[in-house]
Amino acid sequence: MPPKASRDAMNLAELIFQRTQADSVAVIDHQISYSYGFLAEKSAEIAARLLGIHAVGRAARIGLKCRDGFSYIALSLGILRANACFVPIAPELSKAECQSLIELLHLDGVITEGEDLGEFSYEVTPHGAGCPWQVPFEGLNPALIRFSSGTTGTSKGIVLSHETLLARIIAANDGLQIGPQDRVLWVLSMAHHFAVSILLYLWNGAAILIPEAHLATDFLTTARDHGATVLYGAPFHYLLLISSEEKIPWPSLRLAVSTTAGLAPQVAADFLAKYGLHPVQALGVMEVGLPFLNISEPEKRPTSIGRPQPAFEARLLTSEGQQVLPGEEGELFLKGPGIFDAYISPWKIRGELLRNGEWFATGDIARADEEGFYYLLGRTKAVINVGGMKFFPEEVENLLCSHPGVSDARVMGRVHPTFGSVPVAEIVPTGNPQVSASELTMLCKKQLARYKIPVEMLFVDAIPKTPSGKTLRR
């Protein structure tokens, strides 16, 4: 059992305001600038109000329902400065899903943003009392609870302490090199991206630029008007930006990072041609942080996630635990700072979950070349097994998406009485040009082994995604 956190335990939010300049810009939201000093004042007011609520004490779990913007940042920091644990509640969750989250995490209360800047309402929930893992939880000095994507299985509540968050953002910034001179264009969801993003930018004194809407024109206008230097987004955002007919230049951009899923080489090349910078592939793991970033050779190796960042070690192991040779496939294991502190439901602390007490099994299948550059191949649970022959659906999906008539695809295994499973594909057509199932089947026949060819092509309107933008697997 971890020791009980002391009353003077480290508080990351407090440290942020001790190291940043009060008159520097922290957030530009809908063309309005807010300084670090103002953010400090507003979050302190929020913390004081929370501390005045009897139910809020050290390590109380407080959910936050709020739109992206300055208020989200102020409220989340206010929760942390009250020595409570911040729990993002994604706006897209249904009422039933919200209730399930409240009960599972034994939330003490839920904050809902008000109409005025930094204002909120607070609802005490009856689930905080009697939490079966309260004592070990409090001993961790908890700051944040996040959920894994649930791409291939049940989502897990992930506990991150103040100390773990700090170690994580310091390690991540080895490659990102975010500093006070940077202005980061915000395109993601704050409910799903907070540690190696919002907290990292604030810790390093950067400004966060929040556009008025999630359209390419708004992104580019904000970037031009405020000199955005960094873009950290998902492949969808890059596709959106290269598809835009706007001719707005972006000369201030120094770093473009693509995360959550693999970025197609052609999209990266088109972004380079249009904006003069090649995007960098990254691997973010919710339990680990940002262990990979292909800073050194993004153009030469556009599909690689790069070498491990300086603070991390990586291994590729067989199912028997043997290390593989360069060029061979294996499950990716990671070791480094910032690995999560505990899982919730059932409660398990980090030491019980890591191999040899230090290596985290990501569930990703990858290979590394002779020069130490890593390439993701798929998920262990996503492997499709056809009569003993296994392959990763991403391989087929990438081929299908290379057709100009396909905007998205998902390949899954369908139970088969003889072969165990056979692949089927769901296709989202672009409509320009028109594409047929037979045409896509012929494309697969030219490029793939027979057992990888989908037995059926189903045309759909959209592919289900996890909240962080990954393809949802059944």
CATH of the domain at 405: 3.30.300.30
- d(CA 139, CA 157) in angstroms, rounded, equals 17
Q: Mind listing the pLDDT tens digit for each residue in 226-248?
A: 999 999 998 888 988 998 888 88
Sign of CA dihedral 266, 400, 398, 410: positive
Which strands, in side-by-side order, build the sheet including 85-88? 120-124, 109-113, 61-65, 85-88, 142-147, 157-161, 342-344, 348-349
What pLDDT is attached to residue 418? Answer: 65
Crossing angle for the helix pair 393-401 and 437-447, nearest 10 degrees?
A: 120
Peptide bond into 433 cis (omega under 30): yes
Report, as ranges of residue numbers, the positions in the chain whose pLDDT lies below 50: 1-3, 149-153
Q: What is the pLDDT of residue 153?
A: 43
Identify which of 389, 373, 396, 404 has the alpha carbon closest to the alpha carbon of residue 446. 396
* Measured distance CA(206)–CA(208) in Å, rounded: 7
- Say what the pTM is: 0.84
> What are 3-15's pLDDT values in tens digits?
455 567 899 999 9
Report if residue 395 sits inside a domain: yes
Nearest residue to 288 (alpha-carbon basis) of 350, 352, 331, 336: 336
Which structural domain range is residue 389 located in? 383-459
426 in any annotated domain: yes
Residue 7 belongs to some domain of the structure: no
Residue 411 lies in a domain: yes
Query: What is the model's pLDDT at position 6?
Result: 55
What's the pLDDT tens digit per position in 317-353? Answer: 998 889 999 999 999 999 999 999 999 988 999 999 9
Instruction: Assess if residue 82 is contained within a domain.
Output: no
**Element spanning 239, H or E:** helix 235-243
Burial of 425 (C-beta count, 10 Å sphere; 0-12/13-18/19+): buried
pLDDT at 389: 79
What pLDDT score does 406 carry?
A: 96
Question: Has residue 18 been placed in a domain?
Answer: no
- Strand-pair partners of 281: 258
> Is 389 inside a domain boundary?
yes
- Count of the separate structural domains present in the chain: 1
Angle between helices 36-51 and 70-81 (to 10 degrees): 50
Q: 388 in a domain, yes or no?
A: yes
Partners of 255 in the β-ladder: 230
